[in-house]
Copies of this chain bind each other. A is one copy, B any other.
Amino acid sequence: MIFLCVAIIYIFLVILKLMEFTIRSRKREDVVDITEQIKKLVVGKKAEEGKAVLVYTPHTTCAIMINENYDPNVCIDILAALKNMIPAGKWLHDKIDDNADAHIKASIIGPSVVIPFENGKMKLGTWQNIILGEFDGPKERTIIVEIL
């Protein structure tokens, strides 16, 4: 009986723990493909648990987006386009932290995506990958996953 309780609590903790993970970005502006980590977290989850997967990052200078990563240049182009639109070093917040451009980019892309979910699988399109866009790295970043 005690063993059963401990086992249940352990499984519960593992499940809770599993729904969050960290990655490390390697440079100031970077992209990290987190599709496989999220697939592993949600595989085996039943329909009763929900119909969509929320992917969320609790930071203000990185963001979550969905796009192609078969050609890695797509994501490099996205970083370059954001840099063109939002040049660094000309903002009020730069006096304090010198990363205002990163905050602005993160606000435009947003901290979350919501993906339809069925039979333990996200309904990602053939070319869709889930990407963390880093705008003020290198940093350790947390990603929270919930089934809604």
- Chain A interface main SS type: mixed
B71 touches A80 (CB 8 A): no
A32 CB contacts on chain B under 8 angstroms: none
- Whether the pair B56, A77 counts as a contact (CB closer than 8 A) is no
The B-contacting residues of A in range 37-91, CB under 8 angstroms, are 50-52, 54, 56-60, 65-68, 71, 73-74, 76-78, 80-81, 85-86, 91
- The residues of B that contact A81 with a CB separation of less than 8 Å are 85-86, 91, 104
Chain B residues, CB < 8 A from A73: 91-93, 95-96, 100
Give the docked Cα–Cα distance between A93 and B113 (Å). Answer: 24
Contact of A146 among B97, B113, B116 (CB under 8 A): B116
Q: CA A126 – CA B100 in complex, angstroms? A: 17
- Asked whether A124 lies within 8 Å of B58 as measured between CB atoms, the reply is yes
Instruction: Indicate whether A93 sits within 8 Å of B77 (C-beta atoms), given known contacts A67-B106, A146-B51.
Output: yes
Interface residue tally for chain A (C-beta within 8 Å)? 54
A111–B71 Cα gap in the complex (Å)? 19
Cβ contacts under 8 Å, A110 to chain B: 65-66, 109-110, 113
Minimum Cβ distance to chain B for residue A144 (Å): 5
For the complex, what is the distance from the CA of A103 to the CA of B60, rounded to whole Å? Answer: 23
Partner-B contacts on A (CB < 8 A): 50-52, 54, 56-60, 65-68, 71, 73-74, 76-78, 80-81, 85-86, 91-93, 95-97, 100, 103-104, 106-116, 123-128, 142, 144, 146-148
